[in-house]
């Protein structure tokens, strides 16, 4: 394959040649890109192919949590808890610019309820009730601390009595008898971490490549034919194929000539509320609570808004999911019962999103009891297909690195290659050199302001958004200076957006609005700013008036239809 240009998808593949590559990874979500980076670091030549935008499917619709899986203790998935808590702790170190500690409060409404139900679940029941009392919560949090002891970076749990709990969270319902307090983590901008993992992989192996908006046309013998949206088809001869298509895995396997029925996903929806009183009362905490129907819900501050989620219902069409009105009502009713002194209305919803969790097919009667563990079954080569297919089933945001390492080791063994390095302590993207304390942060800020000439408050803003990669944006020179800002979202500059469009494989305006920035999810995007952003994209990509108009219409339509956001 030709040497890649960083996110230069248009120039990576020459369409009139067949290319030999060690591994083709189909799917640019978190599991696919995590594996891409790991293999590139081992010297394996990879082609990462995504039919839409990188991180634009299931990986764009998580709860924004990096967690150890407290509820997995009940289902006896202790190995998954051990891995999840370790990976959470590692991400707090390796991606400190995007992953932050999150103190969490669990309201408790009885002392002993749920013990026997939990024991039934532990021994395999799929219908046990979900209610949990203080004794059970205390045992669970103690176990959680134990499993999270490796590379520990956060405090141990506390169990608060009713009086102390109401002092610390006065808005919560007074019917509680106690509250458990522990720490997990939140990821500020998951789609950006996806891009950073790809970038790290491309830097590590300049013979590897990543292309978005590229779909499989056909598979025959040794060859797979792909087609981008704007170029001629190209053909690749892989030694191994990895199907990391998430909820689309069975569809991709069918095209590859290896029909399967591996996925039985569930739908998760979330809403963002503009509710300053709620955000203030949360005081930086998440409340992890049980709704009236027994489902686990959560509410926490996310970029100045209140994130409420998530549903967990059976669903199998990832292309058609959106947060339905009934789900919004469910969320609002749940937080009304939890926080009765606060007012909640549908008009407070500024954004909503939904996605399919690519869970393994299961006969569990309660979707919440379907395993969140991962596996990688192999369809070996046969007379019609010359390469094996490894499908990445299940998994979750928190464990992507560990999952990638497991699968990479399988691939390395098949390729008779050694592991060159571990990713366990390897910083990701803007987490490289990220200042971890006040003194280091001050020194970094002083050096950055001196090098870039930007004001300190602007450098702080860029550091919090991009980590140490902020210097790339700060040094960018294009048609606009950093002082030229969006009118209504002045925390984004034209120069910053120009850098994003030119360097982060942007194909559509939606890529910028939904994934490269947080303009949509924070509800700050306006029609005027959309027009300004489209001007930047048009100037950088040469769209022309008609294409630019269509791109803007697509943004307005998708925000309204899938995200309850009307410009």
Q: Does residue 276 surpass a pLDDT of 60?
A: yes
Helices (H) and strands (E) in the chain, counts: 18, 20
For the whole prediction, is pTM greater than 0.85?
yes
Give phi and psi for 407, each to the nearest 5. -70, -40
Say how far apart CA 197 and CA 36 lie, in whole Å: 8
Q: Where residue 191 falls among pLDDT bands split at 50, 70, 90?
A: very high
> Tell me: the pLDDT tens digits for 152-166?
888 899 999 999 999
Say how far apart CA 78 and CA 118 lie, in whole Å: 14
Q: Where residue 3 falls among pLDDT bands split at 50, 70, 90?
A: very low
Cβ(85)–Cβ(148) below 8 Å: yes
Q: What tokens does 401 get?
A: 């690195």
Say how far apart CA 498 and CA 221 lie, in whole Å: 43
Q: Where residue 263 falls among pLDDT bands split at 50, 70, 90?
A: confident
Q: Does residue 18 surpass a pLDDT of 80?
A: no
Say how far apart CA 381 and CA 237 lie, in whole Å: 13
Q: Does residue 9 surpass a pLDDT of 50?
A: no
**Residue 255 DSSP symbol:** H
Burial 62-87 (b: 16+ CB within 10 A, else e): bbbbbbbbbbbbbbebeebbbbbbbb
Cβ(40)–Cβ(15) below 8 Å: no
CATH number of the structural domain 71-185+265-363: 3.30.9.10
Which CATH fold would you assign to the domain 9-58+191-264+372-415?
FAD/NAD(P)-binding domain (3.50.50)
Domain ranges across the chain: 9-58+191-264+372-415, 71-185+265-363, 435-563
SS3 of 297-309: the string is EEEEEECCEEEEE
Report whether CATH 1.10.3470 matches the domain 435-563: no
């Amino acid at each position: 394959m030709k040497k890649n240009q960083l996110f230069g998808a248009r120039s990576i593949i020459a369409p009139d040649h067949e290319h030999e590559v060690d591994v083709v990874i189909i799917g640019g979500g978190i599991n696919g890109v995590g594996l891409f980076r790991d293999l590139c670091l081992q010297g394996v030549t990879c082609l990462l192919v995504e039919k839409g935008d990188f991180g634009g499917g299931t990986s764009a619709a998580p709860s924004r949590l990096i967690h150890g899986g407290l509820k997995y203790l009940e289902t006896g998935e202790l190995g998954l808890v051990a891995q999840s808590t370790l990976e959470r702790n590692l991400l707090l170190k390796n991606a400190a610019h995007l992953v932050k500690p999150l103190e969490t409060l669990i309201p408790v409404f009885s002392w002993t309820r749920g013990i026997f139900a939990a024991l039934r679940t532990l021994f395999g029941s799929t219908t046990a009730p979900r209610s949990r009392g203080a004794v059970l919560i205390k045992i669970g949090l103690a176990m959680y601390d134990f499993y999270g002891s490796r590379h520990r970076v956060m405090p141990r749990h506390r169990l608060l009595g009713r009086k102390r709990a109401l002092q610390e969270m006065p808005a919560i319902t007074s019917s509680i008898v106690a509250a458990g307090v522990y720490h997990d983590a939140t990821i500020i901008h998951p789609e950006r971490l996806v891009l950073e993992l790809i970038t790290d992989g491309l830097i590590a192996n300049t013979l590897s490549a990543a292309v978005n908006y590229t779909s499989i046309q056909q598979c025959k013998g040794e060859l797979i034919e792909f087609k981008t949206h704007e170029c001629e088809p190209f053909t690749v001869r892989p030694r191994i194929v990895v199907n990391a298509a998430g909820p689309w895995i069975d569809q991709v396997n069918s095209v590859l000539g290896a029909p399967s029925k591996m996925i039985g996903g569930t739908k998760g929806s979330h809403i963002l509320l503009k509710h300053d009183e709620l955000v203030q009362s949360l005081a930086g905490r998440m409340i992890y609570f049980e709704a009236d129907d027994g489902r686990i819900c959560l509410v926490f501050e996310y970029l100045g808004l209140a994130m409420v989620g998530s549903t967990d219902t059976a669903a199998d069409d990832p292309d058609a999911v959106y947060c339905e009105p009934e789900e919004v009502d469910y969320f609002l009713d749940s937080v009304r019962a939890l926080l009765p002194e606060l007012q909640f209305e549908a008009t407070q919803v500024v954004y909503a999103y939904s996605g399919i969790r690519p869970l393994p097919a299961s006969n569990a009667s309660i979707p919440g009891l379907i395993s969140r563990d991962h596996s990688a079954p192999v369809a070996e080569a046969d007379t019609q297909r010359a390469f094996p297919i490894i499908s990445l089933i299940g998994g979750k945001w928190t464990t992507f690195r560990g999952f990638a390492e497991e699968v990479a080791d399988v691939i390395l063994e098949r390729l008779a290659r050694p592991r060159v390095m571990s990713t366990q302590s390897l910083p990701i993207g803007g987490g490289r050199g990220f200042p971890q304390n006040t003194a280091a942060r001050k020194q970094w800020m002083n050096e950055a302001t001196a090098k870039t000439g930007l004001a300190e408050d602007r450098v702080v803003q860029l550091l919090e958004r991009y980590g140490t990669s902020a210097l790339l944006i700060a040094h960018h020179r294009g048609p606009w200076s950093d002082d030229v800002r969006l009118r209504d979202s002045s925390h984004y500059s034209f120069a910053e957006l120009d850098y994003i469009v030119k360097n982060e494989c942007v194909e559509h305006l939606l890529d910028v609005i939904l994934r490269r920035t947080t303009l949509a999810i924070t509800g700050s995007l306006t029609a005027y700013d959309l027009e300004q952003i489209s001007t930047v994209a048009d100037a950088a990509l040469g769209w022309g008036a008609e294409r630019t108009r269509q791109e803007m219409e697509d943004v307005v339509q998708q925000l309204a239809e899938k995200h309850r956001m009307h410009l």
